[in-house]
Amino acid sequence: MSNQFTFTVTNQTDLAITELWASPDNEEWSQFTLDDEGIPASETVTIAWAEYTNDSQCEWYISAVFEDESETESALFNFCEEPDIEIG
């Protein structure tokens, strides 16, 4: 039994997401490891949190970078209340 927490990301854009970043304070950022294809357009992917985040806060800022190198504004998500997020 793994103690890793997961969440899903649904990419509702026309571009693949190549990088996904998380920050507890909107200042210090950590990158999630994605497959080579990232999160394809119109797809949903399950992503695991690093184990060191297990006892961390519920609210995290998330930012995505797309295949054309554009990026989203960071947005605050509460993963305790809603572990599934949509981008786009």
For the chain, the domains span 6-87
On the question of pLDDT at 49 being above 60, the answer is yes
Nearest to 33 by CA among 12, 50, 13: 50
Model pLDDT for residues 2-12, shown as the tens digit of each residue: 567 899 999 99
On the question of pLDDT at 1 being above 50, the answer is no
CATH among 1.20.120, 2.30.30, 3.40.140, 2.60.40 for 6-87: 2.60.40
Model pLDDT for residues 56-73, shown as the tens digit of each residue: 899 999 999 999 999 999
Distances (CA, A) of 6 to 38, 46, 81: 16, 7, 13
pLDDT at 59: 96
pLDDT at 50: 85
Sheet holding 84-87, edge to edge: 44-48, 6-11, 84-87
Output the pTM of the full model: 0.90
The mean pLDDT value for 40-54 works out to 92
